Amino acid sequence: MVLVKGIMMILWLLLVSLFCKSTQDGNGQESGVLHCGSQNLKLTSSGQMILLTWEDKPLCSAVQDVLIYELEVLIADNKEHYDEVAVTPDQIGSTHSWNWTSYLALECTSHSVRLRSRYKNHTSPWNQKTLPGLETSRAEVYPKDKYFKVGSTVTFCCVLPAGVVFGKMYLSEYSSADMNTTRISNQTYALTVHLNQASKYSCTDVICELNPYVVYGACAFIGYPPIVTDLQCETRDLQSVECHWTYKDSSLPFKSPTEYHLLESPSICAKSPETSCSQKVRVDARKRNWTLTASNSLGEVKLSDTADLTKRVHMYPPEGVTASSVNARNVSLEWKWTVQQYYNLSLICQVKISNHGENTISEHFGVGLNFAVLNDLIPNWTYNVEIRCRTAQHFWKWSTWSTNVNFHTKGDVPDVLDVWMQVMDNQIITIWKVPLANQSHGHIKDYEVTWTKTTERERRNRTKVAPNNYSLALSLDTTVEHIVTVTARNINGSSSPSTITIPSSNPDRTRVNTSLIIGSNGSFNLSWSASPTASCGYIVDWCPTLGKCTVEWLKVPPNQTNASIFSKNFKDGLRYTLSVYACTQGAPVLLQRSEGYVGEKKIQDGLFKSFKGQQQDWDYEVSWEPISLREQTAFIQGYVLYCLDYNKKDINFSTDNPEATSLTARNLKIGSYKFTVKARTAVGECGATSITATLNSLTDDLNLIKTVFISLATVLGLLSLITIVCYRHWTCIKETVYPPIPKPVLTSTGEHGCRHFQVDQCHYSEADIMDVPELYCSAGAPINGLVSQENMPFVFSQTPKDYYNQPLKKCTPPPLTLPSMAIPSQSGLPSSSFRREFPNASYNLIMQPGNQQSNLCPELQEGTSLERSSDGYQPHDHTETFTTNQTEEDPDSPMSCVSTYILLPQSSSR
């Protein structure tokens, strides 16, 4: 029994232990170790993502609460990531999965994932799976040929074979500041880069440089997801939708072009760089969303546009445009529509008519419009037209222009000529403008001109003018009015006549004031007062003021009283006359006349002709000829006279009178001046003309008077001096001039004779002396410009009363033997003055020779004495000469008598 009880006890104990064990087993854990865990782990990868799948162990079925799986990722044995996966009781028994994307390409190095379960503080052992990195015999860079968005941060790795030394890693086109290199393991290096720029060329190179230098690498396509904007959908044929968008380069042109899908359709509608595509749809009058999907390797973009396509009809251009009916001034155009539905639409079409560079557009309306009529065309003219259309309702877009169509209108008679007249030199010139191509409507064959007096309209004169002439000069009686009519003729007929009435040349009619005008910008802006007589407007004509010209004119409508006058013939610096006429039913009436320059030019220097100057006291007047209009290239507003002396001091005198022909510089001083006159114009002072003059102290008359007075004073002074000298030395002079006249001695004894002579000689009375021989000096040519006063012969009255009857044979004194020549040198008077006052005169000398005193007169030696004594003076021819025996007597002694001079009767004693 005890044994039985013992056995029973053991059984109970066994049962209790079994229960306890079974309870323990039911919780899957045994002393902290969880028996519920993972099994069938599978580690796969996709790109850089690792995918782990596993199942629960069977023991886990007993778990009644949330079971946690702990996951750890190890990159090259370094713990890189931790994660947990919660499994609810109802999920136990199913396959679990977990994924994680590595920052590294999986080729770079080993990626391990280990897994364990945790339940109520009990964990299962780790269960690990590993993806090994790439083992390579040569260096490699990963990832290869992958797409990256600009702005992302990417890690590249360089995997090296064993024994190879790493150098550096970098991206081409990137700066080192954007890159960071780290060592992952012995064989793996990583380069982390912030991609901030898209690939410029095909791709960006990721370089791994070894040591020694060898490079390996990979390509990275760095760009953008599709950048598409401005989606706009419309219909062109009312059977399909056509969408347009704008596209920005994503920098992935080669490997991954952007693909477009319309309306979620799986088929590709377009690829970049296309920016439109279409798709067949049912077009009805309702709004719809039109969606475009753009995608490339880096992403996808969706755009939508909401529209009722019936309001967005973008028509195709008209096809087959033809000019079906071409006339002189109108034409019919026809065309077709490629889309039949257009014939049911209310349309607006524009016809663009191109005419020698000028475009005009006309609009035409109609349902299914397929024709248009163009009016007001120019005959004989080539046109180019193109057409575009749109729906009349719900304007969306014009179609593009159709292809160009050319047509040439038929010819017609010429347009009415534009006729004007010019009266010149008693001739009436009828002139008309050359018909332009759009006015002649065909080749002009000739012009016909008819004319008649206004009083004799039935008698018409007629002439034809060749087509290359555009005027006709008629010599008509200008005192009466004439009517001139001109028509042009081409192959189609004659133009309507153009008539002008030539006014009679009544001077009163043409008398109007002339105003001045200045042009601007190459034209004249002319205005005038309205005239009630101008029933048909105004005519402005113009011509150069000087010289012959061909008049030009402009016709102005009646309601206009101003005109801008422009001509290609206008020249700056040329004066034009512009006349405004009133157009009347009769002859034109001159209203206004202006003269001016379209542009003033500086007048050239040397403007002033006959430029001369004259001193007037202390003033100096310069004068010139009136300046002709031909010389004036600008309006002269006045003149300025500049006086520049040699101190460079400039003084000016001016006048505002443009008609002035002289200017006076006043209050000048003695000296030389340069006088310059310039014309004042709106473009400055110009036309400078100069003269140089010297101002004297007085005028010529004053100088003359002055000279005369000085001369008189000098002569008077000399005379006074001579008088004084003569007075003081009168005795001597007397003795010299009047030597004692010997009394005739008949026959006497020697003793009386000589004494008597002596006495007489020394006691000559003064009265006797005054009877000196006369020396007549006939007027001769002045010497050295000096003339004796009043051209009077110089008279030296020395004629002795009693000697007229003396023979002259031997005693005719030569002119230089005149006492006057000898006396001054002895009496101290300057001999030169006398010499100058004597011309080379001939002398009618009547004298008695006996008055020559041998000791006073210079000894005359023929041929030599003259030169010495008279300074070139040449005496008249003498056949006989005096010879004086000069004695050495005391000058104070009484004059000695020389026997050869005075023939004394020889005494018998001697």
Partner 1 sequence: PRWTRRCLTRRRRRERWLLPGYCITNVLVCSSYTKRRRHSWRTTPLTEDVSCALSPDSEEPSTERQVQLLHSALRQCLGLIHCVILKEEEEWGELEGDYETMRKNVQLRLEHLLHSTKGLVETENTTLEVTPDHQCNEETDGAGGVFGLKMWTYRVLLELVHWADHAAQTLHVLHTEREEREEI
Total residues contacting partner 1 (rule CB under 8 A)?
22
Instruction: Pick the closer one to partner 1 by CB: 13 or 215.
Output: 215
Q: Judged by CB under 8 A, which of 213, 436, 694, 910 binds partner 1?
A: 213
168 in contact with partner 1 (CB under 8 A): no
CB 600 within 8 A of CB 573: yes
Q: Residue 471: which region, alpha, beta or left (left: phi > 0; alpha: psi -120 to 50)?
A: beta
In the complex, the smallest distance separating the C-beta of residue 274 from partner 1, rounded to whole angstroms, is 15
In the complex, the smallest distance separating the C-beta of residue 254 from partner 1, rounded to whole angstroms, is 4
Cis peptide bond prior to 257, omega within 30° of 0: no
SS (H, E, C) 808-861: CCCCCCCHHHCHHHHHHHHHCCCHHHHHHHCCCCCEEEECCHHHCCCCCCCCCC
Q: Judged by CB under 8 A, which of 141, 198, 421, 543 binds partner 1?
A: 141
256 in contact with partner 1 (CB under 8 A): no
> Which range, of 204-212, 351-359, 554-562, 793-801, touches partner 1 by CB under 8 A?
204-212
Exposure string for 334-350, b = 16+ CB within 10 A, e = fewer? ebebebeebeebebbbb
In the complex, the smallest distance separating the C-beta of residue 220 from partner 1, rounded to whole angstroms, is 9
Phi then psi for 826, rounded to 5 degrees?
A: -85, -30
* Residue for token pair 């996709």: 46
Q: Judged by CB under 8 A, which of 203, 556, 668, 857 binds partner 1?
A: 203
Residue among 594, 580, 586 at smallest CA distance from 541: 580
Q: In whole angstroms, what separates CA 421 from the centre of its chain?
A: 40
The strand pairing partners of 782, in sequence order, are: none
> Which range, of 51-59, 181-189, 212-220, 389-397, touches partner 1 by CB under 8 A?
212-220
Q: Judged by CB under 8 A, which of 12, 19, 201, 730 binds partner 1?
A: 201
> Which range, of 138-146, 422-430, 510-518, 711-719, touches partner 1 by CB under 8 A?
138-146
Amino acid in the structure at residue 611: F
CA–CA distances in Å: residue 136 to residues 107, 160, 165, 780: 10, 7, 14, 145
Instruction: Pick the closer one to partner 1 by CB: 200 or 810.
Output: 200
CB 75 within 8 A of CB 184: yes
In the complex, the smallest distance separating the C-beta of residue 205 from partner 1, rounded to whole angstroms, is 6
Residues with Cβ within 8 Å of 232's Cβ and at least 6 positions away in sequence, in order, are 243, 244, 245, 305
In the complex, the smallest distance separating the C-beta of residue 271 from partner 1, rounded to whole angstroms, is 11
In the complex, the smallest distance separating the C-beta of residue 204 from partner 1, rounded to whole angstroms, is 10
In the complex, the smallest distance separating the C-beta of residue 76 from partner 1, rounded to whole angstroms, is 22
Q: Judged by CB under 8 A, which of 39, 202, 211, 887 binds partner 1?
A: 202
∠ CA 450-455-459, rounded to 5°: 40
Instruction: Pick the closer one to partner 1 by CB: 33 or 215.
Output: 215
Query: Residue 677 gets which letter from DSSP?
Result: E
* Residue for token pair 């007047």: 621
Instruction: Pick the closer one to partner 1 by CB: 147 or 381.
Output: 147
Instruction: Pick the closer one to partner 1 by CB: 92 or 164.
Output: 164
255 in contact with partner 1 (CB under 8 A): yes
Task: Compose the 764-803 pattern: x for residues touching partner 1 by CB under 8 A, - for all others.
Answer: ----------------------------------------
Instruction: Pick the closer one to partner 1 by CB: 14 or 214.
Output: 214
Q: Where are the beta strands (DSSP E) in 249-369?
A: 259-262, 270-271, 276-280, 287-296, 299-308, 319-326, 331-336, 346-355, 358-367
Q: Judged by CB under 8 A, which of 30, 77, 145, 802 binds partner 1?
A: 145
CB 419 within 8 A of CB 484: yes
Q: Judged by CB under 8 A, which of 207, 369, 565, 895 binds partner 1?
A: 207
Q: Judged by CB under 8 A, which of 9, 11, 49, 214 binds partner 1?
A: 214
Alpha-carbon distance of 121 to 151, in angstroms, equals 44
Q: Judged by CB under 8 A, which of 164, 218, 298, 622 binds partner 1?
A: 218
* Residue for token pair 């007629």: 462
596 in contact with partner 1 (CB under 8 A): no
Amino acid in the structure at residue 414: P
Instruction: Pick the closer one to partner 1 by CB: 255 or 329.
Output: 255
Residue among 84, 42, 83, 43 at smallest CA distance from 67: 84
219 in contact with partner 1 (CB under 8 A): yes
Cis peptide bond prior to 273, omega within 30° of 0: yes
∠ CA 631-632-638, rounded to 5°: 125
11 in contact with partner 1 (CB under 8 A): no
Instruction: Pick the closer one to partner 1 by CB: 145 or 319.
Output: 145
In the complex, the smallest distance separating the C-beta of residue 244 from partner 1, rounded to whole angstroms, is 24
CA–CA distances in Å: residue 713 to residues 621, 708, 717, 833, 838: 35, 8, 6, 15, 19
Pairing of strands 276-280, 287-296: unpaired
Q: Judged by CB under 8 A, which of 172, 514, 664, 907 binds partner 1?
A: 172
217 in contact with partner 1 (CB under 8 A): yes
254 in contact with partner 1 (CB under 8 A): yes
> Which range, of 28-36, 54-62, 196-204, 521-529, touches partner 1 by CB under 8 A?
196-204
Instruction: Pick the closer one to partner 1 by CB: 221 or 290.
Output: 221
Q: Judged by CB under 8 A, which of 28, 29, 189, 205 binds partner 1?
A: 205
CB 485 within 8 A of CB 474: no
Q: What is the number of alpha carbons within 13 Å of residue 174 lying toward its C-beta? A: 26
> Which range, of 19-27, 200-208, 599-607, 789-797, touches partner 1 by CB under 8 A?
200-208
> Which range, of 217-225, 614-622, 677-685, 769-777, touches partner 1 by CB under 8 A?
217-225
In the complex, the smallest distance separating the C-beta of residue 521 from partner 1, rounded to whole angstroms, is 50
Q: Judged by CB under 8 A, which of 81, 118, 144, 168 binds partner 1?
A: 144
Instruction: Pick the closer one to partner 1 by CB: 220 or 636.
Output: 220
CB 519 within 8 A of CB 598: yes
Phi then psi for 78, rounded to 5 degrees?
A: -105, 130
> Which range, of 137-145, 354-362, 825-833, 881-889, touches partner 1 by CB under 8 A?
137-145
Instruction: Pick the closer one to partner 1 by CB: 199 or 278.
Output: 199
In the complex, the smallest distance separating the C-beta of residue 103 from partner 1, rounded to whole angstroms, is 20
Instruction: Pick the closer one to partner 1 by CB: 145 or 456.
Output: 145
In the complex, the smallest distance separating the C-beta of residue 172 from partner 1, rounded to whole angstroms, is 6
Alpha-carbon distance of 464 to 473, in angstroms, equals 12
Q: Judged by CB under 8 A, which of 215, 268, 424, 708 binds partner 1?
A: 215
CB 406 within 8 A of CB 458: no
Phi then psi for 836, rounded to 5 degrees?
A: -70, -35
In the complex, the smallest distance separating the C-beta of residue 162 from partner 1, rounded to whole angstroms, is 19
CB 611 within 8 A of CB 691: yes
In the complex, the smallest distance separating the C-beta of residue 215 from partner 1, rounded to whole angstroms, is 5
Instruction: Pick the closer one to partner 1 by CB: 19 or 201.
Output: 201
156 in contact with partner 1 (CB under 8 A): no
In the complex, the smallest distance separating the C-beta of residue 202 from partner 1, rounded to whole angstroms, is 7
Query: Which residue ranges make up the site for partner 1 (CB under 8 A)?
Result: 138, 140-141, 144-145, 170, 172, 201-203, 205-207, 209, 213-215, 217-219, 254-255
